[in-house]
Structure 1
């Protein structure tokens, strides 16, 4: 049980750090932990994986949102979070129309969270709105990635195989979405 608590603590830390430093594969961490939890055979552990992943994502998003709100575009450019001003303007427009759905969807799209967080911060989305809207977004994100890990864990007989399958699947989906967005962007120009 102590090992499980320590692993969940590390999952929280990794996901929280990955929410602030977007190069950390947080979805793969949650999927891998879910695959391992499946082989442990206790459904409560799976729920704790979802809770730790969602909590880490939520706290990390709050930290990143705070940094964007107080540091502004200058900090975002310095940390290389902001690269495309046109895309940011389009996201700001979508946020003005539909704040909560945009936050929900952004958490699920690979590479979608950072531009939406930046746009929300720069557009002056209130803390209260962000805090409330981001909670279900983080929970939904954790459930989706845990389900991927659960699928990987249930297909393969060894825990390491399920973890590896979940990580590879996450990386392939991320690559495919990146390729699709680049292709769509090239077609529109």
Structure 2
């Protein structure tokens, strides 16, 4: 049990750090944890992986949102979070029309969270709205990635095979979404 608590604490830390520094593959961490938990045959451990992943994502998002709110556009430019002014403007418009839905979906779209956090911060979205809308977004995100890990863990007999399958599936889905988004943007600009 102590090893499980230590692993959950590491999962929380990795996901929290990855939410602040968007280079860390946080979805893969949650999927891997769920695949390992599946092989332990403890459904409670899978629920704890989901909770640790969601809590890490939530805490990291709060830090990131605070950095965006207080650091402003200068900090975003310095950290190279702000690259595409047009995209940011369109996200701001969608966010004004559908705050909660945009925050929910942004967590699930690869590369969608940072622009939405920037747009929300620059548009002055209240802390109260952000805090309440981001909680279900992080929980949903963690459930989706844990489900990918459980699926990978259930297909393969060895835990490492499930982890590799989950990571490969995440990479394929991320690339497909990225390709589709670029293609859609190119079609919209013509």
TM-score range, shorter chain: over 0.9
Mapping of residues 98-109 of structure 1, within 5 Å: 98-109=98-109
Matched residues in 1 for 2:14 and 2:51: separation? 14
**Per-residue CA distance 1:6-38 (angstroms, 9 max, x = gap):** 110010000000001111110011001000000
SS in 2 for 1:80: coil
Instruction: Provide the C-alpha distance between the structure 2 equivalents of 1:161 and 1:175, rounded to a whole number of angstroms.
Output: 21
2:9 corresponds to which residue?
9
TM-score scaled by structure 2? 0.98
Shift of 1:185: 1.4
**Worse overlay, 171-180 or 68-77:** 171-180
Deviation at 1:2, TM superposition (A): 1.2
Q: Which residue of 2 aligns with 1:44?
A: 44
Aligned length: 189
Structure 2 unpaired stretches of 5+: none
Q: Does 1:174 find its partner at 2:174?
A: yes
* TM-score normalised over the length of structure 1: 0.99
| 2:63 pairs with 1:66 | no
Q: How far apart are the structure 2 equivalents of 1:12 and 1:137?
A: 16
Q: Distance in 2 between matches of 1:174 and 1:87?
A: 19
Query: Which residue number in structure 1 is paired with residue 76 of structure 2?
Result: 76
1:82 Cα shift?
0.8
Residue 164 of structure 1 is matched in structure 2 by 164
Shift of residue 119, structure 1, vs aligned partner? 0.3
